[in-house]
Chain A
Amino acid sequence: MKEKIEFFFDNYNYEFLLKETILIVGHQKFLNFAIKSIKTQLSNDWTKSNNLFFIAQVDKNAVMLSNMNIQQNMILPLLFHKNYNETESQKIINDLAELFDLKIYVNVFPESLNIQQKKKYSIIRALSLQPQIIIIDECSTFEQSEFLEICKKINDMGIVVIATTEILTLADYYKNIIIINEKICSH
């Protein structure tokens, strides 16, 4: 099955889906393969310049460094990889936080946020790196109407959203769906 998933995503036409949202539904172990295959195929290493696509990922637990506040967590990759200074990075993060109505929390520590807020901040952190594709692992954390709104905002920036979930019923909300089960992998 692993080979089948890898083959499917290796031959998938990503260009066709620009500015859209793709939902991948399947068991967690298949989803992990799928994410890995997408990242391998599209070259996830955004620290290098020869990328096909620049992908940012939001992990399912939305982990953050607990010894830093939200803003410090958010600006960390910008300072590290993009060579922005602190003021520039803070401005980028504050602008994005305002877009997602989360500006009031930027100075608190991660443990005082709930999982949805943490995940939204993880999305902001991923967006701040200006990716072309953003992978959001386990989108069922959000209420679907809220998540669709988030996806729309991201799509409006010209970014593809690849969301994964284990819950099949969520497929009703989306146009582009990839279903992976024990036997098939289809769009």
Chain B
Amino acid sequence: MPLKNFLKKKFKPLEGVIYLFFYNLKILFSGEWHRRKMISTQMFKQILFTGIDALPLILFSAFLVGFIVIAQSIVYLPQIGGNEYIGKVLAFVIREIGPIVIMFIIIGRSGNAVSVEMANMKLNGEIFYLEKILKIDGFLFLMFPRFIGFVIAILCLSVFFNVFTILTGYISALFFIYSPIGVFLEKLLQSITIVDMIVWIIKILVFGMIISLVAFYQGVSIENTVREVPRVTTRCFIQAMTYCLVVDAVITFIVIFI
């Protein structure tokens, strides 16, 4: 179903996002994107915008989280006899705090930008032009590169975030208390299990998918006027945040239950 038919159907938000998810999977496995260099170019542009351009902000946030959570843990936990919990705190930061901080940054920065871009394209008749005049599938050209771009970018950002958080946390703790790097890394490796890593990867990938799909859906759902554009961005932020937090809670629940 081309994009114009998707818009005519007026799906509810959750239905629309689920539909878009499966449509992206269909494009991914059909291999159609691979035959067209243009799609890969669009994908790299999206990775550049969502990933590389956001890196300074992510590293700054990582520094703050590292200082606030890890440095405090290294300083205060030994004082109350909780030395062995430092590793657990690190695992918690990687598995829970990292994905949520990145999720908020990506929604606010890239998710909203995509929704505004799509909304303006629809208002200017560019989506109509693309599909009706140029006969290019709007999903393939507009949505798929953003979907893949978001997922790859958010995964890379998450790796940078975790490494930088741990490093800055450790370095900032050295200003208050000396803790050998060997001991610190040993605690880290002892505490982080394979389950933590799998949960972290699943969460971050799902967040990337949700943000890109919600941003695209909200952008193209705009009806008539420019006045709706701010509403679209608000809806994008709230909907993406809600879905991500619900998915986060569900994954956490499953992990605890297992």
Contacts and interface: CB of A to CB of B under 8 A. Distances in A.
Interface of A: 45-47, 57, 59, 61, 63-67, 76-77, 79-81, 86
A79 B117 contact: no
B125 A65 contact: no
A68 to B, nearest CB: 10
Interface residues of B, number: 18
B36 interface: yes
Contacts of A63: 124-126, 128-129, 133
A76 B37 contact: no
Contacts of B124: 63, 66
B53 to A, nearest CB: 15
B121 A76 contact: no
Interface of B: 36-38, 117, 120-121, 124-126, 128-130, 132-136, 141
Contacts of B120: 66
Contacts of B132: 59
A66 B126 contact: yes
A110 to B, nearest CB: 10
B133 A59 contact: yes
Given A47-B135, A66-B121, A67-B117, A79 B129 contact: no
19 contacts: A46-B135, A47-B135, A59-B133, A63-B124, A63-B128, A63-B129, A63-B133, A64-B126, A64-B129, A65-B121, A65-B129, A65-B130, A66-B120, A66-B121, A66-B124, A76-B38, A77-B134, A79-B37, A86-B37
Contact of B136 (A59, A64, A66, A76): A76
Contacts of B130: 65
Nearest to A76: B134
Contacts of A77: 134-136
Contacts of A57: 133
A76 B141 CA distance: 11
Most-contacted residue by chain B among A47, A64, A65, A81 (CB, 10 A) = A65
